[in-house]
Structure 1
């Protein structure tokens, strides 16, 4: 199975976890790592190129830090530009039909904060509903989310364990 991991982090150099995850994935021969902020520093997305990349892979992973209960802005722009009517969905669309989609995110806050009654009031699953709805619209099989809570306070050992666990989730 070929996997495309779309990394979307506006300051990857300063990210311990997303940078480490990306390094671990680059060791996998069946994985293509595609860093949107590196490829599009001007945020001018080449839609045809992105659609071709998606068509060439069986599994798509969206990897990003969870900012203000959502994704970084370039991912939203990418979704809006790339997943077009007549290509990703609609009567002439369906190019991603049957592919797998994995959402992988790092959350600075601890898991207890993402519970009913917790500091953030909602679960990660509830907050990620727009991604679930998008997946349904384009006909992909949504895999269980991969979430690393407490990313801001991970020890080096926990970071390494997270990277290995993440790579396993991506390739299995």
Structure 2
């Protein structure tokens, strides 16, 4: 099973994320958990989320880039669900060797993240990559769609096919 943990506070404003979810839903073994729909009060059901993650062959964290990070509910989800003794620690094994794919969209073009004082996009992945490593997960190369505000239909189509292929490959990795 491919588990997509999706966090977008304004999903109706994101054509790219909506298209990505629609494409992902064509896979018969995809389960999408939309955090802002499930937990509008930010009161996460940790046990339900941990059960969902345990069943997954691939965990995907999909969201838009928010001020060079995750939306608040995604961060809270990680903080609450990845608990000591379950996700990390001496006897933790729930996430061991489970692949993690980061699927992120940005409003800015790719060059926005590598000019001037900007650190470059790969640096922005480091906190999530470190979390995956700490929890003994297998970090997969992220799927990134830059320039979501002005998405060219051809580029979007290519990205959707790439995302679909990565979902299939990530489950098998």
Residue number in structure 1 paired with 2:158: 161
Q: CA deviation at 1:40?
A: 1.1
Among 127, 130, 135, the alignment partner of 1:130 is 127
Deviates more, 1:127-136 or 1:158-167: 158-167
Question: How has the CA–CA distance of structure 1 residues 54 and 120 changed in structure 2, closer, same or farther, with 3 Å as cutoff?
Answer: farther
Q: CA deviation at 1:92?
A: 2.2
Residue number in structure 1 paired with 2:49: 50
1:141 aligns with 2:138: yes
Measure, in 2, the Cα distance between the counterparts of 1:160 and 1:39: 29
- TM-score normalised by the chain length of structure 2: 0.93
Residue number in structure 2 paired with 1:82: 81
Residue number in structure 2 paired with 1:170: 167
Among 147, 151, 161, the alignment partner of 1:150 is 147
Residue number in structure 2 paired with 1:97: 96
Measure, in 1, the Cα distance between the counterparts of 2:126 and 2:167: 21
Measure, in 1, the Cα distance between the counterparts of 2:25 and 2:116: 35
* 5+ residue gaps, structure 1: none
- TM-score normalised by the chain length of structure 1: 0.94
* 5+ residue gaps, structure 2: none
Alignment RMSD (CA, Å): 1.1
Measure, in 2, the Cα distance between the counterparts of 1:93 and 1:171: 27
Residue number in structure 2 paired with 1:10: 9
Cα shift readout 1:77-129 (whole Å, capped 9, x = no counterpart): 001100000110111212110100001100111111212xx056112111111
